[in-house]
Amino acid sequence: MRSSPDRSGTARRHWRELAERACTDEAPFAAAALYPYAAPRERAGLEARMFGERRDRLLLASAPFVAPAVLARLAALDDGGAVQLRLARNPATSAAALGALWRADASPRLRQLIARHARTPRAVLGQIAAAAGEIETLRALCENGGVAAEVLATVSERRIGVLQRLLAVNIATAEDTLLALWAEADDEAVRAQILLHPHCPDVLLATVPASLLERRCLARQQRAPRALLAELANDRDAAVRRAAAENPGTPLAALVANCFDADATVRHAVAARRDLPPALAGCLVDDADARVRRALARNPACPPELLVRPATDADAEVRRAAARHPHCPHELLDRLSRDEVTWVQAAVAYRDELPYAVLRRLARSSDVDVLAGVARHPATAPSRLARLAIHDCPDVRRAVILNPRTPRMVLRLLRQDGYALHRAMAVDHPRFADTDRWRMRDDPDVQVRFRVFQHFARRDAMPAAHEASVHVTQLSHYQPHPPKEHMETT
């Protein structure tokens, strides 16, 4: 939290007005938006608005978009069970706040939530791992996505059978812990998870196991030896063959037979490989199963010259997949833009690089999916965007906001949109001006007001140099301007 933000005259006036509004706002979120950037003397008023009513404290405690500083202050209030439970479940709650909750006289439910929270301090998780008696708390810890390997090793040393599989699943479990689990485990489900784990010891990946479950997991292990994966690609079980076919480590030579596999899901896995050679693509282009043809048509590894067949496929989803292929030739796109199924046309409309004539034709469509694609297209003309910005269908209007090239004048139309989510999205658009955002400070929707307040609080707390770098970063996110011949100019 900044001790005393240095604001310019206008910024000071803005801040004063926002702070006054936040303190009388019907909801506590406007005050929460300002709080992390407020000077100490201003915080008392904001805290009074945020924490004065229990109802508001409950709302804030479960809001994942609220700044960690607000949640930390709330955690320090010692506000009883319901607020604490919500804080412990909130993914935005900071490590310090979770540590404070843990030091309190925690209920079993609160201990479980803290054990599961990805931001819980390592020291707290270490205490839980070493001493917690409730199996549900230990289970929650094993399911924690942010836990350290040493903590999981401590749990493993307690040798609790029902936790073995969860330990083998957790991505942080270290190699030596997995080896110890392997030695203890007499359950194939646990061994299978160990074989699948990214830290699986090499020594366990040397032979093909007898158990089906273990073979299925080994076939998905990217570090498995190529020879072993080649053997699994010819396994008698279709799920094992499919897993091997999906595995980038499986040598391509081993996949030739999979192209003609009796099981369509195996052929589908081959068709979707990013390293598919043209010869194998040729084997699959006329596959009997439409899902296989669709996966191939969408695969960037499928040679563009092969797309002629998917582009004329009887199945509309296959044609749509061809339209989404990153290297689909322009003449095919032209044909697909006239497809009898508008869902196929929409796939064309969603491509960034389109001949002007195709974009213009699609813009004349009345289908909302096609028009949404046109609305988010970087080359669509501002005048057309202005028309789409007042379209009856919210999906089309939303696409206009999602277009990073939508000019400010069009965005100003969307500032009046009846759908609050659209107004909230418009606040964050890089081409929206601060004068436009300022006019939205009394928007009737609470989430829009939160974003406006947060924007000005951040901006005014930001040193000038940092602000300049952010501006450069925002501009760098823009797509390069499309070539002139692809631009719609009217």
Partner 1 sequence: MKILVPIKQVATLDEDFEFREDGRDIDPDFLIHDLNEWDNYTLEEAMRLKEGPGGEGIEVVVATVGPESADEELRKCLAKGADRALRVWSDALEDADAIGVARVLAALARRESPDLIFAGVQATDHACGATGMALAGLLDLPHAAVVAALDYTPGSNSATVRRELEGGSYASVRIDCPAVLTLQLGINTPRYASLRGIKQAAQRPIEVLDAEALGVTADALGAAGSASRVRRMYVPEKGRAQMIEGTPAEQAARLAQIIKEFGGAA
> Phi and psi of 272, rounded to 5°?
-95, 0
Given 7, 21, 89, 458, the residue binding partner 1 (CB under 8 A):
89
Only one of the segments 156-164, 266-274, 317-325, 357-365 lies at the binding site for partner 1 (rule: CB under 8 A); that segment is 156-164
In whole angstroms, how close is the CB of 414 to partner 1 at the nearest point?
A: 10
| Identity of the amino acid at 358 | V
Given 72, 190, 271, 461, the residue binding partner 1 (CB under 8 A):
190
Question: What does the radius of gyration of the chain's CA atoms come to, in whole angstroms?
Answer: 28
Closest CA to 87 of 105, 64, 53: 64
- Using rule CB under 8 A, residue 423 touches partner 1: yes
In whole angstroms, how close is the CB of 193 to partner 1 at the nearest point?
A: 11
- Using rule CB under 8 A, residue 189 touches partner 1: yes
- Report DSSP state, residue 214: H
Q: Is 433 helix (H, G, I), strand (E, B) or coil?
A: coil
- Using rule CB under 8 A, residue 436 touches partner 1: no
Given 214, 417, 460, 488, the residue binding partner 1 (CB under 8 A):
417
Residues 125-154 that bind partner 1 (CB under 8 A): 135
Q: For partner 1, which is the closer residue by CB, 104 or 252?
A: 104
Residues 27-86 that bind partner 1 (CB under 8 A): 53-55, 58, 62, 82, 85-86
CA–CA distance from 184 to each of 69, 158, 161 (Å)? 44, 12, 9
In whole angstroms, how close is the CB of 87 to partner 1 at the nearest point?
A: 11
In whole angstroms, how close is the CB of 365 to partner 1 at the nearest point?
A: 20
Given 162, 171, 409, 468, the residue binding partner 1 (CB under 8 A):
162
Residue 466 corresponds to which tokens in the numbers above?
């940092």
Q: For partner 1, which is the closer residue by CB, 189 or 212?
A: 189
Q: For partner 1, which is the closer residue by CB, 86 or 335?
A: 86
Q: For partner 1, which is the closer residue by CB, 63 or 283?
A: 63
In whole angstroms, how close is the CB of 57 to partner 1 at the nearest point?
A: 9
| Contact assessment for residue 95 and residue 104, using Cβ atoms and an 8 Å cutoff | no
Only one of the segments 143-151, 159-167, 239-247, 369-377 lies at the binding site for partner 1 (rule: CB under 8 A); that segment is 159-167
| Contact assessment for residue 163 and residue 139, using Cβ atoms and an 8 Å cutoff | yes
- Using rule CB under 8 A, residue 211 touches partner 1: no
Residue 186 corresponds to which tokens in the numbers above?
């007499």
d(CA 36, CA 29): 12
In whole angstroms, how close is the CB of 443 to partner 1 at the nearest point?
A: 8
* Sign of the CA dihedral running 358, 364, 369, 371: positive
- Using rule CB under 8 A, residue 429 touches partner 1: no
* E strand or H helix at 138: helix 135-142
- Using rule CB under 8 A, residue 161 touches partner 1: yes
Residues 384-403 that bind partner 1 (CB under 8 A): 394
- Using rule CB under 8 A, residue 478 touches partner 1: no
Residue 250: how many CB atoms within 10 A of its CB?
27
Cα 270 to its chain centre, rounded Å, is: 26
Q: For partner 1, which is the closer residue by CB, 78 or 331?
A: 78
d(CA 473, CA 54): 40
Dihedral angle over CA of 16, 17, 21, 24, nearest 10: 50
Cα 392 to its chain centre, rounded Å, is: 29
| Identity of the amino acid at 13 | R
- Using rule CB under 8 A, residue 164 touches partner 1: yes
Buried b (16+ CB within 10 A) or exposed e, 105-129: ebeeebbbbbbbbebbbeebbbebb
| Residues that bind partner 1 in the complex, under the rule CB under 8 A | 53-55, 58, 62, 82, 85-86, 89, 135, 161-162, 164-165, 187, 189-190, 394, 415-419, 423, 443-444
